[in-house]
Amino acid sequence: MSVMLGRSMRHVFRSMDTIITVTIMPIAMMLLFVYVLGGAIQTGTDNYVNYLLPGILLIAIANSVGYVSYRLFLDKQRGIFERFNSMPIARSTALWGHVLTSMLSNMISLFVIILVALIMGFRSPAGILSWLAVAGILSLFTLTLTWIAAIAGLSAKSVDGAAAIAYPLHFLPLISSAFVPTKTMSAGVRAFAENQPVTSIVESIRALLSNHPIGNSLWIALAWCIGIIIVAHILAMRAYRKRG
């Protein structure tokens, strides 16, 4: 497993534009919403960057999964998986190498985004345990989207098809409580926003960072993520075995 992880991480560091692209776009959105649109958005808080940051972090993760799918597609096209399957290693090791790489590279991007948010005025009274809980939720969300991306990468017929998985995932944070309270939305959009996984994840992270009660949002977020991971993992492994 460590060999496959090292192999995938070397590919990432040899092409740093991947991490840079994943990081720059969310930062640009954060700058736009805080300094251009923030004055017109009423969230009930004085510090809009505090309200906005959880959603920006999730968008960064969603932005990265297209690269995961792309790298998996390339390995599939080059016959890399068939070579690994001929070796005395677990069949899923190559696939897990990509998954773990996604998690590590995302942690780097999220750390940079949080540093920029601090420069922009983000402040949190959260203690170390709350920050560890936030890191855990972000890791679980990354794992969730990565397994979804694995399905696309292993099933796609073209490079464009593999990378396209990132586009619909971008809309989930946008149609949630990440940027504005759901109560300001029209009835139909509000019903979707309040009952999709990103809203519960955003609310959990926001509550942890502000030292507010979490309520049921954390358990809803965990249930969504774990349920999707189980289904996506089964489908991804099925698609992977077809290539074996």
User: Given this model, what pLDDT does residue 43 score?
Assistant: 76
User: Is 126 within 8 Å of 134 (Cβ atoms)?
Assistant: yes
* CA 140/CA 229 separation, integer angstroms: 9
User: Given this model, what pLDDT does residue 3 score?
Assistant: 46
Q: 212 in helix, strand or coil?
A: coil
State pLDDT tens for residues 161-182: 777 776 788 788 889 999 999 8
Axis-axis angle for helices 17-32, 93-119 (nearest 10): 40
User: Given this model, what pLDDT does residue 209 score?
Assistant: 94
Residue 100 φ/ψ, nearest 5 degrees:
-65, -35
User: Given this model, what pLDDT does residue 12 score?
Assistant: 53
Confidence of residue 64 (pLDDT cuts 50, 70, 90): confident
Structure tokens at 113: 């985004």
Confidence of residue 19 (pLDDT cuts 50, 70, 90): low
Task: Pick left, alpha or beta for residue 79 (phi over 0 → left; psi -120 to 50 → alpha; otherwise beta).
Answer: left
Confidence of residue 227 (pLDDT cuts 50, 70, 90): very high
Predicted confidence (pLDDT) at residue 5 exceeds the cutoff of 60: no
Per-chain mean pLDDT for the chain: 82
* CA 131/CA 199 separation, integer angstroms: 19
- Amino acid (1-letter code) at residue 156: A
The 10 Å CB-count burial string (b at 16+, else e) for 100-112 is bbbbebbeebbeb
Structure tokens at 48: 């809009």
* CA 217/CA 162 separation, integer angstroms: 32
- Amino acid (1-letter code) at residue 241: R
Q: 158 in helix, strand or coil?
A: coil
* CA 237/CA 92 separation, integer angstroms: 8
State pLDDT tens for residues 125-145: 999 999 999 999 999 999 999
Through-space distance between the first and last CA atoms of the chain, rounded to whole angstroms? 18
Q: Indicate the pTM of the whole model.
A: 0.85
